[in-house]
Amino acid sequence: MPTTDRIWTAALLVIGDEILTGRTHDKNIAQLASWLGVQGIRLKEARVVADDMGAIAAAVNALRTGHDYLFTTGGIGPTHDDITVDAVAEALGVPVVVDPEARAILEEYYATRGGLNDARLRMARVPQGSELIPNRMSGAPGIKTGNVFLLAGVPHIAAQMLDALTGTLEGGAPLLSETIGCWTAESEVADLLRAVEKAHAECQIGSYPFFREGRTGANFVIRSTDPDALASCADSLCGALAEAGKDFTPGGI
Amino acid sequence: MPTTDRIWTAALLVIGDEILTGRTHDKNIAQLASWLGVQGIRLKEARVVADDMGAIAAAVNALRTGHDYLFTTGGIGPTHDDITVDAVAEALGVPVVVDPEARAILEEYYATRGGLNDARLRMARVPQGSELIPNRMSGAPGIKTGNVFLLAGVPHIAAQMLDALTGTLEGGAPLLSETIGCWTAESEVADLLRAVEKAHAECQIGSYPFFREGRTGANFVIRSTDPDALASCADSLCGALAEAGKDFTPGGI
């Protein structure tokens, strides 16, 4: 069990023209957020930038210094538009080198797949001083350099790399949550939400409205690192909703 | 037809704890990107920040000064966690005021829905000097203040607001694209992709690998504002793929 109150934070840099043109819907923000939650690390910020050296390098330096961990997704493949390694090296002020271990992994992986050509060898290039993150899915490893973790952009490959990192990063108390759903316009219960949150300093309440089957509802998500505070806040909110004559559903709608 | 070569750029600031905890998958980045493309405006950067005044205000000031337009999504509802208006006003150094037109819209909308209470009236608050963006879906308007556009977080409400803005923003030549799909590992054609891109200075080529039904493939997306350059680049790429003995599918796989 984590014994510290220190909050560990992370940022994500999503790299790729395909996200910013709308061609591809990002799935890595939610995927990383969920994984970090389990590690006791808070995702505090995500950014999406294009395949542009300057934009990537500037974002890397802004985010790696402001958070305990920085993750990037995308741009570590074999083609000309894969420039993440070069941009991160530029941001860190180190040269790009061919990692012998990565080269050996790729040689083995491609031994039965046409051999290691120049394009494939690009995936053995790392910022000097890096370690590798295993990738059981498609050979080419992810890269850890200082507090920066370079993951694949394809979500199921990124997931494999996160799996390999599970339990290896120091974190704090996980952020717990409790959801209470209610068939109400959130504007009818805004005052009681505010009052309940104010009375439970260790909790935050988020209100997420929806429209389904012609009806208005909302899910109220209480978040806290303290399980007792969370339970007490959830009790108070249910009590207040009942008092206001609202039907509610613990667990959310 | 746009006659200028000037590139118009935009940024998006997605606001909300629900995105950064992984509870909600963002849909607004792709939605805005597609809409901006049609307006001849490039989405150059997206950021996601939590429901935190300081984080929102800092990102607003970083992004509104670096781009022609800044869009925000989220945090303009009636509850205590909706702080976007206050954060944007703080960023701009202006007070928050109740907009009489917004108030009238909400009074009419809620006349048959329980009346305008304090929480609902929060949705008439704007940074001083703003204009409204119509919202046919749920009454509460979006807000335009300078080059900053505050949209709802719920994607289909944001879509309505974008619809109301269609054709009102100055843009340049739309970025056109052509996709060519190919059942190949991208690492087998990396050299020819690079060569074709290099020979067509007005085009960028993105390579997006996939794994389907046990097979490796990739879509190559050529982007340009010049339709002739785009067609010429697509021809060259198809020619090069044919010469390499690859089956390819214009339009993408």
pLDDT, tens digit (0-9, with 9 covering 90-100), for B230-246:
999 999 999 999 999 99
| Cβ contact A19:B13 at 8 Å | no
In chain B, what residues touch A37 (CB-CB under 8 Å)? 21-22
CA B233 – CA A193 distance, rounded (Å)? 57
Which of A192, A237, A191 has the alpha carbon at shortest distance from B122?
A191
**Would an 8 Å CB–CB cutoff place B33 in contact with chain A?**
yes
ipTM of the modeled complex: 0.94
Q: Which of A26, A27, A186 sits opposite B78 (nearest CB)?
A: A186
- Report the percentage of chain A scoring pLDDT > 70: 98
**B48 vs A contacts (CB less than 8 Å):** 29, 45-47
Q: What percent of chain B has pLDDT over 70?
A: 98
User: Which stretches of chain A drop beneath a pLDDT of 50?
Assistant: 1-3
SS3 B3: coil
Query: Which residues of chain B lie closer than 8 angstroms to A204, CB-CB?
Result: 17, 51, 81
Instruction: Enter the pTM of the model.
Output: 0.95
CA distances from B34 to A169, A233, B39, B177 (A): 37, 41, 9, 12
Asked if A175 and B61 touch (Cβ cutoff 8 Å), the reply is: no
Cα(A216)–Cα(B120) distance, integer angstroms: 15
- Rounded to a whole number of angstroms, the distance from the CA of B128 to the nearest CA of chain A is 23
| Pairing state between β A125-127 and A131-133 | unpaired
Cβ density class B130-165: b for 16+ within 10 Å, e for less: bebbebebbbbbbbbbeebbbbbbbbebbbbbbebb
Q: How far is A20 from chain B (nearest CA, A)?
A: 6
The pLDDT value given to residue A4: 58
Q: Which residues 38-77 in chain B show a CB within 8 A of chain A?
A: 42-51, 55, 77
Contacts with B117 from chain A: Cβ below 8 Å:
187-188, 190
Q: Inform me whether the pLDDT recorded for B3 exceeds 50.
A: no
Domain boundaries, chain A: 8-165, 176-250
Taking the C-alpha atoms of residue B43 and residue B69, their distance in angstroms, rounded to an integer, is 9
The Cα A225–Cα A71 span in angstroms is 23
- Crossing angle between the packed helical segments A190-199 and A227-243, to the nearest 10 degrees: 150
- Domain B176-250, what fold? Alpha-Beta Plaits (3.30.70)
Task: Please count the other Cβ atoms lying within 10 Å of the Cβ belonging to residue A3.
Answer: 7
CATH for B8-165? 3.40.980.10
**Mean pLDDT, all residues of chain A:** 95
Q: Read out DSSP for chain A?
A: -----PPEEEEEEEE-HHHHTTSS---HHHHHHHHHHHHTEEEEEEEEE-S-HHHHHHHHHHHHHHSSEEEEES--SSSTT--HHHHHHHHHT--EEE-HHHHHHHHHHHHTTT---HHHHGGGEEETT-EEE--TTTS--EEEETTEEEE-SSHHHHHHHHHHHTT-S---SPPEEEEEEESS-GGGSHHHHHHHHHH-TT-EEEEEEEEETTEEEEEEEEEES-HHHHHHHHHHHHHHHHHTT--EEET--
CB A140 within 8 A of CB A125: no
Least confident range of B35-44, B65-74, B206-215: B206-215
User: What's phi and psi for A199, nearest 5 deg?
Assistant: -80, -10
Model pLDDT for residues B155-214, shown as the tens digit of each residue: 999 999 999 999 999 999 999 999 999 999 999 999 999 999 999 999 999 999 998 888
- DSSP states of B124-150 as a string? GEEETT-EEE--TTTS--EEEETTEEE
Which residues neighbour B253 within 8 Å (Cβ) at sequence distance 6 or greater? B181, B182, B183, B210, B217, B219
